Structure 1
Amino acid sequence: MSKVQDLRGKLMDGGSRRRIDQINRIGVHYSFTDQGDAFSFERTWRTKRGWSHGGYSEIILKDGTLQICYDPVVITNGVGGHNTRTYNICYVGKGAPNEKQLPVLIERVRLAMERFNIGLSNVLGHREFPNQSTACPGINMGEFRKRLEGRTEKEVTDTKIAGIVIKAPSPNPLIKNGDREETVRSLQNKLLAAGERLPRFGADGHFGKETEDAVKAFQARQNILVDGLVGNQTRNALDAVLPKYRRLLRNLSPMLRGNDVTAVQRVVGATTDGIYGANSASAVRNYQRLHGLTVDGIVGPLTWGHMF
């Protein structure tokens, strides 16, 4: 993902709201302008069209910068008669998105599909909605939906979409509130190791509000988009702050010290002093016993790998 500008709370807001579960379509748009951004569109549309806000939940600028304009609960303009149930994403331009915009557009539409549980058939270009008379957007939506589905290069050529090359879809699925799987437990351990708090439930493998709050806190500290969703950007940020496995951790004399010890202590609930002593070894044995690992109080590659 390229640069992100979080403009929520900085643009005029008409006050119309909806529930998240009302969103069942994604609208894809172009701005039909050579340049512009959320602020210039706000000024133009307020004057010429009488809109009560700047329109669109997200805008992708010509240089690939993503502007997050409104929270999903805000009803934005975009498709007349359909906005209550539509999440509107717009790229700046008069035709096809350029080589910097298209990868961002595909990533953001995929993210919205995951977030709002929307299928391919409900990803629509503006012109595909009922009772619309427009050429918007400037892409072949049929081929665009195939690419969203992850079709191979043989099945979908880039020229059919917009004449430019884009990256293949990420193999890593989005992790979000409501998920229950092993990847959630690993995520929770990484959050703990990074210094975030999960005081009530710990690493229980359930992505609930406590985990979402911890994700948001981590995102804020890393100065990345705060949305509580764990995609590649948040994964990479977590991996960057965690120590890498490089040695066996065990109770020795003199005792081992370091950031890797602190990370393990945070996961197993030992005193976080960065010193691997008897207390840490005992907490590691409890962790190993709970998760069916060899109970030896030693953090080797298997125990480390299970944690992270």
Structure 2
Amino acid sequence: MSFKAYKITSKYGDRIHPIKKQKIFHAGVDLVKVHRSPIESFTDGSVLFAGNGIKGTGLGGYGLCVVVKDDKNKLILYGHLDEICLIKGAKVKKGEKIGYQGATGNVTGSHLHLEVRRIPDEAAPFGFRQNRRDTTVDPLIYFKTFTNAILKRGSKGNNVKECQKALLLLHYALPVYGADGHFGKETEEAIKLFQSNEGLKIDGIIGRNTHQKIQEPSIKYSGHFIQKGSKGKLVKFIQRKLNIKRDGIFGLITEQAVYSFQRNQGLKSDGIVGFETWKSLLNYPLN
């Protein structure tokens, strides 16, 4: 799929809302063919929702819509459809018809609202967060194939910014410049840490492998406490960062090592890896 078949009537970013008549961030792109033209899927994936978007579900205002979780763990929203051709739970292939262009929901005319959400909630709110700018991706960038282009210190632009936003969402620190679209020393150091944590070649350069891992990281905070009795790859990662035996079992030795790390970092010392301890571990160089 490409955008060649569509006229782009509203891009991703700040705009004057056509109904509210005020400046509001537009978290997707508006695409137009002809009313009731077939709308094909931009990706392979699984249908998480197919129906009328209701207020409070993260889909309010989008009328008849479809949400697809793609193979990069992103949610693709197709909004304002006139008719839907798929059901929840269906598997969809790139290029497969998902519905027809329409004017349902809050619209001023027939079009497709296409949105890419970073947070893969499989139920309401389907990746919707109030901070739309940092929890969505520009579809015009996302659906362009990532070629062998290399991003490194000195690179600038939207591709750099999208990678920086992904790093921040994974809790890597960019404390001075944030996601500014400029690949400087701060971004380079964060990329090196990311590469080290993910077992990639550590060069501070975003090539194909690093870019793919940023989209689909192996190491990602679960949102739950990791503590005595926990098991698995996140425990093994913690043990690797603390330079202790890596057996994937959070026992007494791991608990004591976490205590020591927390004290040294000025954190609450409870031997439990919660969000703040996780962030500190993530941004702590491997021994």
| Length-normalised TM-score, structure 2 | 0.33
| Length-normalised TM-score, structure 1 | 0.31
Which structure: greater strand fraction? 2
Which structure: greater helix fraction? 1
